[in-house]
């Protein structure tokens, strides 16, 4: 998986390079900077003294000394100043310049902390959004197979409660009510307390499962209509279409769908957050059975409809169930055409689910 979000202490990461969220002097400090210097030993500071500081948004490289990582890339994030002082651009350039420096130095893997989101006060949610979108663009548009880890020290509750995921939260809650699945631990108490859903809202939350014409203002009328709609979706298929589906394997369907989409193979596996070698394996073996996270990644990258996604998953032996949080998030994203695998992974990470890709 070319970009993985993980929860860990960055000083423990066994990668070619770890990134340090430093200050302009490069002479150490608190937070992740302090942790890296402590773990690397005094030789790191000695080498840093030779670098003569670093501009905000730029990056410089040193050896890793006693760290498991071969290199430390020191970058200086912006101090949060309300968001009007070019903070977003500066933060994005920290990721971009660090990635370039890593590639130029032959690194095959790199781990980032969430730069600026601690002592420098950048709102964590926005900092994460910038990190993910900048890394994504780099991986999509630069010719590199570098493996990137975004390392978060703590759980990402801040994401689960964020406004950006409010609709997803409602969707999971609605499904929870409908299916009576136990998602007691899915939502924080704060999020639950802040959500008093009005009937209409709830209906729209269930949203695209119900056709617009079926929506009525009266909540009690919504349920039977919805059941009918779901039954319709589950109507038996013709024998011919079942046989056709049985004939085509996952790998064959993937190749056909890539051709139909007009994408090239690299465009597709990069968009799916899939490693080139894994893609080659799937491509060359018609009977390859991918993991569910891999199959889902391709369904999203190919922007399949929910029915097509279900079909593709079925070929690999999987289904989407309403009693699994992972499946609900995937279903929500497909229904709402949120096909950006990297953003889907942010949602999955927020809910402590396994991430998509391979
Ligand atoms: N592993 C992974 N992430 C960590 C670790 C760790 N060991 N320790 C902290 N974080 P910060 P900044 C997270 O404050 O905001 C220093 O004094 C932390 O939870 O380290 O860019 C420098 O010298 C947060 O999400 O860096 C500068 O003066 C993220 O790393 C200033 O702090 C960044 O927090 C830079 O501030």
- Please answer whether residues 24 and 53 qualify as being in contact, where contact means their C-beta atoms are separated by less than 8 angstroms: yes
Mutation test of ligand 1: which of 7, 19, 21, 26 has the most ligand atoms closer than 8 Å to its C-beta?
21
90 lines ligand 1 (CB under 6 A): no
DSSP state of 356: S
Chain region(s) in the chain for CATH 3.40.220.10: 3-154
Catalytic annotation, pick one of 33, 176, 275, 327: 33
* Ligand 1, atom 10: closest residue by C-alpha: 32
114 lines ligand 1 (CB under 6 A): yes
117 lines ligand 1 (CB under 6 A): yes
Distance CA 328, CA 322 (A): 6
Between the CA of residue 119 and those of 44, 105, 115, 172, 215, what are the distances in Å?
21, 29, 10, 34, 48
pLDDT in tens, 268-291: 999 999 999 999 999 999 999 999
- Please answer whether residues 334 and 344 qualify as being in contact, where contact means their C-beta atoms are separated by less than 8 angstroms: no
pLDDT in tens, 149-175: 999 988 777 788 888 888 998 998 888
Match domain 3-154 to its CATH number in 3.40.1670.10, 3.40.220.10, 1.10.10.10, 3.40.50.620. 3.40.220.10
pTM as predicted: 0.80
Tens of pLDDT along the chain (358 residues) come to 799 999 999 999 999 999 999 999 999 999 999 999 999 999 999 999 999 999 999 999 999 999 999 999 999 999 999 999 999 999 999 999 999 999 999 999 999 999 999 999 999 999 999 999 999 999 988 989 999 999 998 877 778 888 888 899 899 888 877 765 444 444 443 344 333 333 333 332 322 232 222 323 333 333 333 333 333 344 556 676 666 666 899 999 999 999 999 999 999 999 999 999 999 999 999 999 999 999 999 999 999 999 999 999 999 999 999 989 999 999 999 999 999 999 999 999 999 899 998 7
Distance CA 203, CA 223 (A): 9
């Amino acid at each position: 998986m070319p970009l993985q979000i993980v929860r860990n202490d960055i000083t423990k990461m066994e990668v070619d390079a770890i990134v340090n969220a430093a200050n302009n002097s490069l002479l150490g400090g608190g937070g992740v900077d302090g942790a890296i210097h402590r773990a690397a030993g005094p030789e790191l500071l000695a080498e840093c003294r030779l670098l003569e500081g670093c501009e905000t948004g730029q990056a410089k490289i040193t050896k890793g000394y006693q760290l498991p990582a071969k290199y430390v890339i020191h970058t200086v994030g912006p101090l949060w100043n309300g968001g009007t002082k070019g903070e977003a651009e500066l933060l994005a350039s920290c990721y971009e310049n660090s990635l370039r420096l890593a590639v130029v130095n032959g690194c095959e893997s790199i781990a980032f902390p969430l730069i600026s989101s601690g002592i420098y006060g950048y709102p964590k949610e926005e900092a994460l959004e910038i990190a993910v979108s900048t890394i994504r663009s780099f991986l999509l548009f630069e010719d590199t197979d570098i493996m990137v880890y975004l390392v978060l020290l703590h759980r990402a509750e801040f994401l689960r409660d964020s406004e950006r995921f409010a609709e997803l939260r409602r969707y999971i809650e609605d499904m929870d009510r409908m299916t009576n699945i136990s998602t007691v631990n899915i939502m924080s108490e704060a999020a639950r307390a802040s959500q008093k859903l009005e009937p209409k809202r709830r209906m729209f939350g269930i949203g695209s499962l119900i056709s617009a014409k079926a929506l009525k203002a009266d909540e009690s009328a919504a349920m039977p209509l919805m059941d009918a709609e779901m039954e319709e979706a589950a109507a038996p298929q013709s024998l011919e279409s079942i046989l056709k589906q049985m004939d085509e394997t996952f790998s064959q369907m993937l190749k056909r769908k890539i051709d139909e989409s007009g994408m090239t193979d690299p465009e597709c596996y990069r968009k799916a957050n899939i490693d080139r070698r894994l893609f080659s394996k799937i491509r060359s073996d018609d009977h390859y059975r991918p993991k569910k996270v891999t199959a889902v990644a391709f369904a999203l990258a190919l922007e399949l409809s929910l029915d097509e996604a279900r079909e593709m998953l079925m070929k690999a032996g999987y289904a989407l169930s309403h009693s699994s949080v992972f499946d609900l998030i995937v279903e929500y994203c497909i229904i709402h055409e949120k096909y950006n695998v990297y953003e889907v992974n942010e949602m999955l990470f927020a809910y402590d689910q396994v991430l998509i890709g391979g």
